[in-house]
Amino acid sequence: MEKLSEKESKRTLFVYNPRAGKGTVGKNLHEIVDAFVKAGCTVTVYPTQARGDACRLVENRDVGLYDLIVCSGGDGTLREVVNGLIKSGVSTPVGYIPAGSTNDFARSLGLSEEIPEAMEIITSGIPFLCDAGNFNGENFVYIAAFGLFTDVSYATNQQWKNIFGHAAYVLEGVKSLSSIQSYEMQIEWDEGVMKGNYIYGMITNSLSVGGFKNITGKDVSFNDGKFEVILIRRPATFAELNDIVISLMKQSFDAVCMQSFKTSYMKVKCREDVNWTLDGEFGGAYTEVEIKNIQEAFPIMVGK
């Protein structure tokens, strides 16, 4: 794949969420467009109007006519653009100016939140083919999660970052083990089938989750066709509960009730509806979900 700087024509679609980051992108729109023009780009600018707008735009517009699609907003905005791109069936490189509250995926790829540095990566970097996930037919970029605490990222103030610190705080105040919401699940994955009573689970392709780095392990690869999975079983004793709290406070997942593994596929069944989040936003409630890794699903501009 050619570097962007080597292309003669640099037709660029810039999609941004005007509400992300307290409107910082809109305030710096002139600076961003000017950087595009100086890099030899012809820019079409589109501010999103509602949730799902970026996905519809990219999926339905002839994105194959563009040399680059750049988005700015939170991880949810990036998910919409990538979702639309995969559905369109084209492989136009994606540039990302992170402007959300946590920017987990950007942190993982070493993308800068500073506009000049982000623009330098977009206009002079190289495209990297990155894995994505498919969740019951919808695509996501780096995480699908269920259970306790998963509503923190989409139901609280945008400045809230400490997801696992909040989780530890909530569990520490538990007076009765029976008060902890859990789900009896059957989970199919690459190496078999297992059953358990779980309070939390996440399927990820990221080094950073909830603003914390390296909690999914140190051997994460973004294009190996595998997810990193972490599940937390319901504690049977207060000793196990305390073990979970300590692990969360240390931002690690090494408690007895926690298990981790890699897989390219998961099917999760439960008798009751379970709320899921996709890339930090509400993804729906289901009794059964099927999650597949799409290896090297989309190209994203990264530093050289």
106's CB contacts (< 8 A; 6+ apart) are 75, 96, 98, 112, 113
Write the CATH number for 291: 2.60.200.40
Q: What is the mean pLDDT of residues 109-128?
A: 92
Residues 53 and 78 in one domain: yes
Mean pLDDT on 15-38: 84
Q: Measure the CA–CA gap between 97 and 184, rounded to whole angstroms.
A: 40
- Bridge pairing between strands 143-147 and 183-189: unpaired
Query: Is residue 297 pLDDT above 60, yes or no?
Result: yes
* Cα of 209 vs its chain's centroid, Å: 8
Q: Can you give the residue range of the structural domain that contains 213?
A: 139-295
Looking at the fold, whether 196 and 242 belong to one and the same domain comes out as yes
Closest CA to 142 of 216, 252, 91, 44: 216
Of 42 and 151, more confident: 42
pLDDT at 102: 73
Instruction: Judge if 111 and 164 occupy the same domain.
Output: no
Query: Do 143 and 287 belong to one domain?
Result: yes
Q: Clarify whether residues 261 and 148 are in a common domain.
A: yes
pLDDT in tens, 193-216: 999 999 989 999 988 776 666 666
pLDDT at residue number 152: 47
For residue 183, the 8-state DSSP code is: E
* Contact partners, residue 42, CB within 8 Å, separation at least 6: 9, 10, 11, 12
- Crossing angle (nearest 10°) for helices 53-60 and 75-88: 20
In angstroms, the CA 199 to CA 221 distance is 27
Residues 49 and 157 in one domain: no
Q: Is the pLDDT of residue 158 over 80?
A: no
Domain count, the chain: 2
One domain for residues 101 and 195: no
CATH assignment of the domain containing 50: 3.40.50.10330
Q: pLDDT confidence of 160, banded at 50, 70, 90?
A: very low
Dihedral (C-alpha) 169, 171, 176, 179: value to the nearest 10 degrees?
A: 110
For residues 113 and 154, membership in a common domain is answered with no
**Average pLDDT of the chain?**
84
Say yes or no: 58 and 148 in one domain.
no
CB 147 within 8 A of CB 200: yes
Closest by CA position to 74, among listed 19, 7, 6, 121:
19
Between 163 and 133, the higher pLDDT residue: 133
pLDDT at 289: 98
Tokens 């994606």 correspond to 94
Q: Show the tokens assigned to 171.
A: 């569990």
Shared-domain flag, residues 283 and 144: yes
Query: What is the pLDDT at residue 212?
Result: 63
Quick one: 165 and 235 in the same domain? yes
Statement to judge: residues 272 and 153 lie in one domain: yes
* Contact (Cβ atoms closer than 8 angstroms) between residue 99 and residue 74: yes
β 138-140/126-135 pair status: antiparallel
Q: Give the range among 148-152, 158-162, 190-194 with minimum mean pLDDT.
A: 158-162
The count of residues in the chain is 304
If phi > 0 it is left, if psi is from -120 to 50 it is alpha, else beta; for residue 81 that is alpha
pTM (predicted TM-score): 0.84
